[in-house]
């Protein structure tokens, strides 16, 4: 056995999209990463294709959303059909809480290519490649301060292994995760489903081909089964679609073997069989598949690991949970596991830098925060799968009624779509790294919604406008303490801003203050007079502290997003309008909020940081 002397901060098993994203995040935070995968290289298959609104928000906070948008198809929603007749359209533009009210469709091979390109551009070591392909983790042992990971080259018939040392090991290695299976009490609890699904990437032809547009997904329901068509882009001048069909009705398997995912034996489906399925389920429409570039049989399981952490080992994505692909939640849950934006990357970074006083409590928060979200997703996707694929007369009628209601009742449609696009995901309330919030403002555990443009107070060569996400894209992604003191123009400027900045300075080592005022209360384009020249912070940081909001009554204004507008409108005569403090974690989730009605309230709002930042920073 070969022993390597380098001790990596993190060893990642699996270089799919989730593993690559996690590797990118850890390297952005300045940590050494060893990532390997038994595949020959990045996938050349379309596989997972949907990036939800929440995933795109995560990418935006990390400054990489544009890479995906340049390559993706933006779909308007989905058309539902029954026996060839259109029931209606399900729109995804049902909420203003996200800057990405859309289905962002991008084949997995392009998603992986983007992350690999990002990794290679930042990778400088000549000793280890950005990704070690054809290399699999085959075992590991944990020690007090590191993990010894055995890896081997899959092309080496001698089964010779090498040992890679890491501070932490993260399994992004799928449903058959070696990281999970090699630990004695790590179980993958749940069940398998006997139903087989057909996946294929095809072009279309036929008399009614114009009924299937390249800017919407299409769901064709029929008593004999389901057929889905999802646009995935052009190939050789033709519009291509992901075809999804079930071959048999939904039925729980008697076997307890994990069988989730694309056929591991390379099982494919003939073009003639694809034609039969589409002719049956789109009847009487004349739409045929042509020029398939890929096909496979897919099976689903409903399983979840009994905890996502064991000592210095973690599981993420499919290694932690798997469920029905209905709604396209799987890959997106994995991205959010990996970081939320930085669920693991941020937390491990703190530990690796020696900045956490309670390692176990901090790292256990990963499971505490993610487990309720995973359970809810599994329940929702499982229910939808049983409804759509159970077969039989009763199931057929129930599916027809449910889809008819979904396409015609706006409130129901909004509820379903915002859940599917993960806009309304909240963290588990028992997390040790969430603080109490004012019941009068946006609650802790919510993901901070994006805002309209804020204008930088200090003007040098030009005006600067940034959204909140752009402002939060700081160098080291610290906690942000946002002071929102906007108010109607009939009032004087907020008198407590100077007090806030003085009191927040106590935590300057771990937080970044951001002050947002109303435009009409800023009378010159300079730093406030109370900001001392030559202070410990650089002038650039001081300048980046102060921003202005032009109209706090706009729907996507920061003031409205956090719920302060209600209190401004209800201010009693002779009283000072309140301000608000919102503490945002590096992963974009809100740690705490507080309504400020006097300078003393600032102390009450910031005092919990003493204990909190000792844990989280």
pLDDT digits (tens, 9 = 90+) for 20-66: 999 998 888 888 999 999 999 999 989 999 999 999 999 999 999 99
Instruction: Give me the mean pLDDT over the 176-182 stretch.
Output: 96
- When pLDDT is cut at 50, 70 and 90, the band that residue 226 belongs to is very high
Q: Which tens digits make up the pLDDT trace of 276-289?
A: 999 999 999 999 99
Lowest pLDDT segment from 93-102, 210-219, 373-382 = 93-102
The sheet that has 103-105: what strands, in order across it? 50-51, 103-105, 73-75
**More confident position, 430 or 202:** 202
- The answer to whether residue 517 scores a pLDDT higher than 60 is yes
Distance set, CA 161 to CA 14, 38, 151, 157, 173 (Å): 17, 13, 5, 11, 18
Kindly compute the dihedral angle of the four CA atoms of residues 366, 42, 240, 194, in this order, to the nearest 10 degrees.
-60
Instruction: Give me the mean pLDDT over the 565-588 stretch.
Output: 93
- When pLDDT is cut at 50, 70 and 90, the band that residue 86 belongs to is very high
- The answer to whether residue 341 scores a pLDDT higher than 50 is no
- 81 near 87, Cβ under 8 Å? yes
- The answer to whether residue 611 scores a pLDDT higher than 90 is no
- When pLDDT is cut at 50, 70 and 90, the band that residue 1 belongs to is very low
- Which pLDDT score, from 0 to 100, does residue 128 have? 61
**More confident position, 49 or 535:** 49
**How buried is residue 491: exposed, middle or buried, by Cβ count under 10 Å (0-12/13-18/19+)?**
middle
CA–CA dist 580, 568 (Å, integer): 11
- Which pLDDT score, from 0 to 100, does residue 340 have? 45
- The answer to whether residue 306 scores a pLDDT higher than 70 is yes
- Which pLDDT score, from 0 to 100, does residue 129 have? 78
Mean pLDDT of the chain: 90
CA–CA dist 377, 383 (Å, integer): 10
- Which pLDDT score, from 0 to 100, does residue 353 have? 66
Lowest pLDDT segment from 70-74, 150-154, 573-577, 592-596 = 573-577
Q: What phi and psi, each to the nearest 5 degrees, are found at residue 388?
A: -80, -35
- The answer to whether residue 476 scores a pLDDT higher than 90 is no
CA–CA dist 434, 348 (Å, integer): 17
Instruction: Give me the mean pLDDT over the 6-32 stretch.
Output: 92
Lowest pLDDT segment from 123-132, 133-142, 370-379, 475-484 = 123-132
How many CA atoms lie less than 13 Å away from 191 in the CB half-sphere?
9
CA–CA dist 565, 558 (Å, integer): 9
Q: Which tens digits make up the pLDDT trace of 363-388?
A: 888 899 999 999 999 999 999 999 89
- Which pLDDT score, from 0 to 100, does residue 21 have? 95
- Which pLDDT score, from 0 to 100, does residue 349 have? 64
- Which pLDDT score, from 0 to 100, does residue 540 have? 62
**More confident position, 532 or 566:** 566
- When pLDDT is cut at 50, 70 and 90, the band that residue 4 belongs to is low
Q: What phi and psi, each to the nearest 5 degrees, are found at residue 501?
A: -65, -40
Nearest to 145 by CA among 7, 263, 298, 327: 7
């Amino acid at each position: 056995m070969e022993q390597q002397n380098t001790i990596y901060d993190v060893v990642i098993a699996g270089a799919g999209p989730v593993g690559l994203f996690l590797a990118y995040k850890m390297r952005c935070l300045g940590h050494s990463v060893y990532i390997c995968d038994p595949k020959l290289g990045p996938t050349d298959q379309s596989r997972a294709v949907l990036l939800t609104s929440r995933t795109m928000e995560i990418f935006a906070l990390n400054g990489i959303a544009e890479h995906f948008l340049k390559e993706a198809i933006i779909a308007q929603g989905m058309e539902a059909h029954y026996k060839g007749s259109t029931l209606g359209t399900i729109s995804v533009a049902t909420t203003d809480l996200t800057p990405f009210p859309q289905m962002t469709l991008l084949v997995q091979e392009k998603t992986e290519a983007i992350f690999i390109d990002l990794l290679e551009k930042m990778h400088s070591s000549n000793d280890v490649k950005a990704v070690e392909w054809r290399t699999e983790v085959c075992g590991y042992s944990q020690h007090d301060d590191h993990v010894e990971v055995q890896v081997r080259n899959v092309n080496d018939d001698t089964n010779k292994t090498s040992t890679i040392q890491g501070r932490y090991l993260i399994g992004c290695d799928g449903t058959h995760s070696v990281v999970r299976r090699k630990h004695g009490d790590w179980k993958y609890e749940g069940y398998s489903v006997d139903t087989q699904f057909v996946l294929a990437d095809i072009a279309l032809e036929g008399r009614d081909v114009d009924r299937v547009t390249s800017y919407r997904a299409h769901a064709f329901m029929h008593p004999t089964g389901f057929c889905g068509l999802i646009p995935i882009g052009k190939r050789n001048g033709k519009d291509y679609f992901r075809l999804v069909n079930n071959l048999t009705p939904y039925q729980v398997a008697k076997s307890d073997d994990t069988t989730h995912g694309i056929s591991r034996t390379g099982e494919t489906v003939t073009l003639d069989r694809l034609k039969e399925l589409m002719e049956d389920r789109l009847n009487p429409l004349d739409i045929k598949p042509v020029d398939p570039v890929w096909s496979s049989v897919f099976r689903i399981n409903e399983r979840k690991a009994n905890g996502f952490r064991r000592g210095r080992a973690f599981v993420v994505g499919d290694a932690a949970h798997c469920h029905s692909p209905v709604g396209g939640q799987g890959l997106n849950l994995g991205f959010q596991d990996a970081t939320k934006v930085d669920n693991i990357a941020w937390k491990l970074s703190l530990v690796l830098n020696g900045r956490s006083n309670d390692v176990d409590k901090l790292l256990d928060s990963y499971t505490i925060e993610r487990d309720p979200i995973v359970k809810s997703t599994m329940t929702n996707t499982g229910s939808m799968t049983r409804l759509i694929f159970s077969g039989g007369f009763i199931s057929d009628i129930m599916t027809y009624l449910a889809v008819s209601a979904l396409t015609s009742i706006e409130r129901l449609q909004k509820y379903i779509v915002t859940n599917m696009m993960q806009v309304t995901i909240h963290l588990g309330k028992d997390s040790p790294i969430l603080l109490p919030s004012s019941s009068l403002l946006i609650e802790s555990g919510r993901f901070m919604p994006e805002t309209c443009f804020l204008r930088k107070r200090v003007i040098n060569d030009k005006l600067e406008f940034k959204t909140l996400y752009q402002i939060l894209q700081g160098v080291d992604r610290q906690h942000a303490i946002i002071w929102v003191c906007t108010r109607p123009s009939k009032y004087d400027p907020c008198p407590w801003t100077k007090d806030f900045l003085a009191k927040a300075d106590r935590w300057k080592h771990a937080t970044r203050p951001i002050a947002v005022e109303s435009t009409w209360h800023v009378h010159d384009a300079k730093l406030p007079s109370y900001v001392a020249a030559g202070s410990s912070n650089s002038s650039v940081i001081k300048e980046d502290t102060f921003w202005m909001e032009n109209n706090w009554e706009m729907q996507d204004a920061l003031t409205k997003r956090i719920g302060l507008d209600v209190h401004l409108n209800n201010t009693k005569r002779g009283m000072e309008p309140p301000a608000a403090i919102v503490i945002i974690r590096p992963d974009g989730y809100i740690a705490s909020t507080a309504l400020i009605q006097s300078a003393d309230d600032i102390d009450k709002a910031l005092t919990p940081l003493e204990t909190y930042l000792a844990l989280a920073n």
